[in-house]
């Protein structure tokens, strides 16, 4: 009884978190995740960049403070449950967003995020009387998260579009 109520509360917690704007895992079927994921941890073990971590509710989710997703698909291949879409589909509809905590918005020159973005999705636009301002070209952003941990003010988050 105690065990099932713990499971229920974890699922409720996850369901609340899962409706959040942040992605859980690439390619995952979000609507079935809390029902089908057994929290076995195989995806956590296989991720080469170690960005998959247990969340508060015990379910795995990506933490871009640990690094980036290389879209290798090893988490999906390791999962024993029918939880992931095929690799041929888009991993997720998640994109980077820059908040007002960005140093450039406070007129401090910084291009750390742009330097970390392989697809060159972050463009810096000159502004009159201010340092160059970052702008994300959303069609070019893969949501890989490489720009997140390099930001000195934690201004970047990866969100579903």
Binding site for ligand SF4 (CB under 6 A): 26, 37-43, 46-49, 51-52, 60, 62, 69-75, 78-79, 81, 83, 96, 116-117, 119, 121-122, 136, 141-147, 158
Tell me which residue of 34, 17, 37 sits closest to 82, measured CA to CA.
Answer: 37
| Residue 69 among known ligand-binding residues | yes
Nearer Cβ to ligand SF4, position 131 or 159?
159
| Residue 117 among known ligand-binding residues | no
Nearer Cβ to ligand SF4, position 36 or 130?
36
**Are 59 and 37 spatial neighbours (Cβ–Cβ below 8 Å)?**
yes
Cβ neighbours around 69 below 10 Å, total: 24
Nearer Cβ to ligand SF4, position 1 or 27?
27
| Residue 37 among known ligand-binding residues | yes
Residue 154 phi, psi dihedral angles, 5° rounding: 50, 45
The long-range contacts involving 122-127, CB below 8 angstroms and separated by at least 24 positions, are: 122/96, 122/147
Annotated binding site: 37, 40, 43, 47, 69, 72, 75, 79, 141, 144, 147, 151
């Amino acid at each position: 009884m105690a065990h099932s109520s713990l499971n229920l509360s974890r699922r409720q917690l996850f369901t609340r978190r899962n409706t959040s704007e942040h992605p859980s895992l690439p390619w995952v079927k979000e609507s079935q995740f809390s029902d089908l994921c057994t929290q076995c941890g195989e995806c956590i073990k296989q991720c080469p960049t170690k960005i998959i971590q247990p969340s508060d509710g015990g379910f795995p989710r990506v933490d871009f403070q640990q690094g980036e997703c290389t879209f290798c698909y090893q988490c999906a291949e390791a999962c024993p449950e029918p939880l992931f879409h095929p690799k041929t589909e888009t991993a997720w509809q998640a994109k980077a967003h820059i908040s007002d905590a960005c140093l450039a918005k406070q007129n401090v020159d910084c291009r750390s995020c742009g330097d970390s973005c392989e697809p060159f999705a972050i463009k810096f636009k000159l502004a009159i009387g201010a340092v160059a301002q970052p702008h994300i070209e959303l069609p070019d952003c893969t949501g890989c998260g490489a720009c997140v941990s390099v930001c000195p003010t934690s201004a970047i988050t990866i969100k579903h579009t």
